[in-house]
Structure 1
Amino acid sequence: MSDTVTATVRTVLGDVEPGRLGVCDAHDHLFLRSPRLPGQELDDASAARAELSAFRSVGGDSVVQWTPYGMGRRVADLPVLSRATGVHIVCATGLHQAAHYSPELLRELRGGLAEVFVAELTEGIGPSGVRAGFIKVAGGFHGLDAHARWTMTAAAEAHRATGAPIAVHLELGTGALDVLDLLCGQLGVAPHRVILGHLNRSPDPVVQRQAAQAGAYLAFDGPSRAHHATDWRMPEGVRALAEAGFGDRLLLGGDTVVAGARSVDGGPGMPYLLRRVGPRLALELGEELVGRVFRENPARAFAVARG
């Protein structure tokens, strides 16, 4: 790499050196709205600020919000929250599964989805001017439907234009290898530019190792009421990957998707990641490696080379 090329992470307050991310919740949500979650919206800026402050109080420095286009990102609020709490925030462009959107919106996007992603990465999201730092898309249950292939093709095009990493929601943790076959095998995205989310929800050690061997990042998130049976298995899966030499591929996040899951609303929330998940994993991996998973790995995963 040329001496004139540097790596940066695009936060809602501008580009920062990757090392400044500090302790990172690599997969979470401050705001989220979907017809699939009626009455459970993350749509309260005061609660979001309190949650960020609680995360900061236990040592958190940055949060990567995976809420994509059309799902209530409240992008204009993110810089305000970042300044108020001192927590770096990275926000997403991208598109989730079709069930999260109206057919009318999807028809509007049909002709130029990649252009929407590129514009949000380079020019900013709406009048806020806040630029997205990565692209979030989603697979299906044990496969990829036409919608997933459309969104991933657009994501790959936007990645080629901007260098932004692509984060993928894996439905119930499945379909990881299909995603890599499409994004990397057919569309030419380098595996280390792909972040696979929810792999712990389908705790298949063979698939997890194959995804890591391919070079992708593996994002493990929790705790989860819906998937609590896999939460207690996460440490053994993470340990197996680390022992196989893939400790540098691991990311950790809380994935708070409904209001009741916030710590300020009685749930575990973002602080739980550092209060309980981190110390629990340290028993399996040691403090040094867990520290790298929280700091160095997300700094690489979400960085973009800039000349």
Structure 2
Amino acid sequence: MAVVRTVLGDVAPEDLGVCDAHDHLFIRSAMLPPGQELDDYDAAVQEATLYADAGGQSVIQWTPHGLGRRADLLPKVSEETGVKLVAATGLHRAEHYAELPTEDLAELFVRELTEGIGDSQVRAGLIKIASGFHGLDEHTSWVLDAAAEAQRATGAPIGIHHELGTGADAVLDRLEGHGVPPDRIVLGHLNRFPDHQVHQVHQELAARGAFLAFDGPSRGNHATDWRMVDCLAALVETGYADHLLLGGDTTTARARLATGEGPGMPYLLTNLRPRLTRRLGEDVVGQIFVTNPARAFATDWK
């Protein structure tokens, strides 16, 4: 029986409800400017509460191993706000780390998915990895291969950060080559590469069976975020509404609504959802926020 692995235990897919399919409550990285890391418990609770007040019921937190996931605090945030949270294992791009793990990556990922993260009993429900810019470098290939091995061992979904939205076809090729089913793969940040052929590129990826995650609006990618609705509409019009996911991808303190300048996690529901409803209709928006996440993140755990 397929279930979603949250920080408070496994739940039925339909219990996810309205889902932010890609976001962060806690993250620290060597790439973040001083003071912009997300590591404040009270701020996380405030942001998640605003999201819940807007109708949000669950968040998939894509912060991977070694970047300040705060697995010890995630259950408390979930209990205090009523928002279901899914934690991630995996590894980001090399530049986010002062020091990379030396142990076998696949074993690390499997342990965090099946036993717990660090000393906690919190199990991850997602493998989050990252691609290179327009291709697969040595670090990316190392992490992708480990993620594929861990996915085959557990059945867990894999979510991919695509650097500036590029390289999704190469990532999908490699993961499928290792036996990962495409419906276990979430291709992230695709709105960050809206060239003149983007609709065709997105349709080809969806046709292969993967989920396509669009994140934002965000400060870092505002130059392309404004085209996201058109990208989604093109995919819906060509029959791929059941492959689409949306997330806020809040990665800096400044981007929070509760304690920063926004737009923050609630924006998905307070601003973007009404726009999408007018353009795509309530049924499609229900698929994107409720039905599709339930399929993408539910697993028959091995």
- TM above 0.5, yes or no, is yes
- The runs of 4+ residues in structure 1 deviating greater than 2 Å are none
1:79 to 47, 65, 75: 75
Structure 2: 5+ residue stretches without partners: none
Structure 1 segment 276-295 matched on structure 2, within 5 A: 276-295=271-290
Give the Cα separation in 2 of the matches to 1:162 and 1:191.
15
1:215 to 202, 209, 213: 209
CA-to-aligned-CA distance 1:44-96 (integer Å, 9 cap, x gap): 00000000000000100000000000000011000000000000000100000
**What is the aligned partner in structure 2 of residue 157 from structure 1?**
149
Answer whether contact 1:34 1:71 (CA < 8 A) is retained. Answer: yes
**What is the aligned partner in structure 1 of residue 136 from structure 2?**
144
2:172 to 180, 187, 193: 180
The Cα of 1:306 is off from its aligned counterpart by: 4.4
2:9 to 9, 14, 21: 14
Structure 1: 5+ residue stretches without partners: 1-5
CA-to-aligned-CA distance 1:235-259 (integer Å, 9 cap, x gap): 1110110111100000000000000
TM-score, normalized by length of structure 1?
0.95
Structure 1 segment 1-307 matched on structure 2, within 5 A: 6-39=1-34, 40-103=36-99, 105-106=100-101, 108-109=102-103, 112-184=104-176, 186-203=177-194, 204-264=198-258, 265-306=260-301
Give the Cα separation in 1 of the matches to 2:84 and 2:166.
30
Answer whether contact 1:176 1:207 (CA < 8 A) is retained. Answer: no
Answer whether contact 1:170 1:199 (CA < 8 A) is retained. Answer: yes
Amino acid at match of 1:243: E
**Secondary structure of the corresponding residue to residue 25 of structure 1:** strand
The Cα of 1:126 is off from its aligned counterpart by: 1.3
Give the Cα separation in 2 of the matches to 1:70 and 1:38.
17
Give the Cα separation in 2 of the matches to 1:226 and 1:29.
15
| CA RMSD in angstroms, aligned pairs only | 1.0
**Secondary structure of the corresponding residue to residue 126 of structure 1:** coil
Amino acid at match of 1:238: L
Give the Cα separation in 2 of the matches to 1:125 and 1:231.
33
**How many positions carry a matched residue from both structures?**
297
**Secondary structure of the corresponding residue to residue 266 of structure 1:** coil
Give the Cα separation in 1 of the matches to 2:97 and 2:226.
33
**Secondary structure of the corresponding residue to residue 270 of structure 1:** coil
Determine what percentage of the aligned residue pairs are the same residue. 61
Answer whether contact 2:151 2:158 (CA < 8 A) is retained. Answer: yes
Give the Cα separation in 1 of the matches to 2:240 and 2:106.
32
The Cα of 1:228 is off from its aligned counterpart by: 1.1
The Cα of 1:102 is off from its aligned counterpart by: 2.4
The Cα of 1:133 is off from its aligned counterpart by: 0.2
Answer whether contact 1:236 1:284 (CA < 8 A) is retained. Answer: no
The Cα of 1:266 is off from its aligned counterpart by: 2.2
TM-score, normalized by length of structure 2?
0.97
Give the Cα separation in 2 of the matches to 1:151 and 1:102.
17
**Secondary structure of the corresponding residue to residue 209 of structure 1:** helix
The Cα of 1:178 is off from its aligned counterpart by: 0.6
- Going by fraction, where is helix more abundant, 1 or 2? 1
**What is the aligned partner in structure 2 of residue 3 from structure 1?**
none
Amino acid at match of 1:142: H
